Amino acid sequence: MDALGSRREETLAPSTTEGGRQASKTLASLARPHRTLWQDAMRRLIANRLALAGGIIILLIALMAIFAPLIAPYPYDKPNYSAISQFPSRDFPMGTDLTGRDMLSRMIYGAQVSMLVGIGAQVIVFLIGVPIGAIAGYAAGKTDTILMRFVDVMYAFPQLLFVILIMAALGRGLQNIFIAIGITGWVTIARLTRAEFLSMREKDFIQAARAAGAGPWRLITRHMLPNALTPIVVALTFGVPEAIFTEASLSFIGVGINPPRPSWGQMVGEYFPYLQSYWFLALFPAIAIAVVMMSFTFFGNGLRDALDPRMQQK
């Protein structure tokens, strides 16, 4: 009997030990501080070096645009006829243009236009595209068909050509660029929002909220839209460099910002014919456009990975 009891204890010991380990893991997981989706996404975003570098560059450019009057050494529109077309030097780190205006100051003020266009246009895109997509996805049926046929018609127009036509009708100016890019850029967000809402219409938590008496407005704003924000935020982040490039293209062909207010795209277009003789005039704004677009791309890729539930560590 003693031998049989010892064998039984040996048999039960590993299972008891394994159960203790599982219980310890469970207690450890319960003892961890609970993190929300956004807190967990922020942790993964910071761990992504390329995304972190892109976010830091974006922050620095945004601060430079906000505090441009304090940072710029000279007014962006003040000519200096005694320092015309000077190459980069100690007094003028980025040189001067054909009328003696400081290129560094114009580059700093040009950041204001790029950031305002990039962010302002996406605000308009959000205000137009998300409501249309939400209504189409929630209502479905004939409402969805009518709205999406309208979206398909808008999607058929080449975006840059449509923007040029709108700018030709409205005239040059920063506000008109917001309107032109916003009117033509909301189609992708509308389609994305519709797809997210269609996938959630029949889910259990929506059915439960509907059974509890929640109306359409409450269902859309309190239950469906918050759960659809992740892909929308990522798409808007990728839309910022597209808007900046569109503004640069408009200014390059002369239908963008009104001079003498500087824009990086306008500077590239204005000084491109002098590239061989005064290379710095067009090179510096072109590099600035490339850096901003690359930074937003890195940040957008990192944000997409950070907000992806499949990337969460188990």
pLDDT at 15 over 50: no
pLDDT tens digits, one per residue of 166-202: 888 888 888 888 888 888 889 999 999 999 898 888 7
What is the mean predicted confidence (pLDDT) over 43-52? 87
pLDDT for residue 208 = 86
pLDDT for residue 194 = 92
pLDDT for residue 27 = 47
What is the mean predicted confidence (pLDDT) over 274-285? 90
Q: Does residue 259 have a cis bond before it (omega within 30 degrees)?
A: no
Domain boundaries, the chain: 1-32, 37-311
Q: For residue 222, give the nearest of 209, 236, 233, 237 by alpha carbon.
A: 209
pLDDT tens digits, one per residue of 120-143: 889 999 999 999 999 999 888 888
Q: State the virtual CA torsion across 188, 192, 195, 198 in degrees, nearest 10.
A: -110
Q: Which contiguous run of DSSP H or E holds residue 4?
A: helix 2-31
Q: What is the mean pLDDT of the chain?
A: 83
Give the 3-state secondary structure percentages of the chain, helix then strand then coil, rounded to 5: 75, 0, 20
pLDDT for residue 291 = 93
As a whole-number percent, the residues of the chain with pLDDT over 90 amount to 23
Report whether 114 contacts 181 (CB < 8 A).
no
pLDDT tens digits, one per residue of 156-165: 888 888 888 8
pLDDT at 284 over 90: yes
Task: Please state which CATH number belongs to domain 37-311.
Answer: 1.10.3720.10
Q: Is the dihedral of CA 258, 260, 264, 265 positive or negative?
A: positive
pLDDT for residue 10 = 47
Instruction: Look up the pTM and report it.
Output: 0.77
Report whether 278 contacts 271 (CB < 8 A).
yes
Report whether 103 contacts 281 (CB < 8 A).
yes
pLDDT at 33 over 70: no
pLDDT for residue 270 = 84
pLDDT for residue 314 = 42
pLDDT at 71 over 60: yes
pLDDT tens digits, one per residue of 252-265: 887 888 878 888 88
The b-or-e profile of 272-289 (16+ CB within 10 A means b, else e) is eeeeeebebbbebbbebb
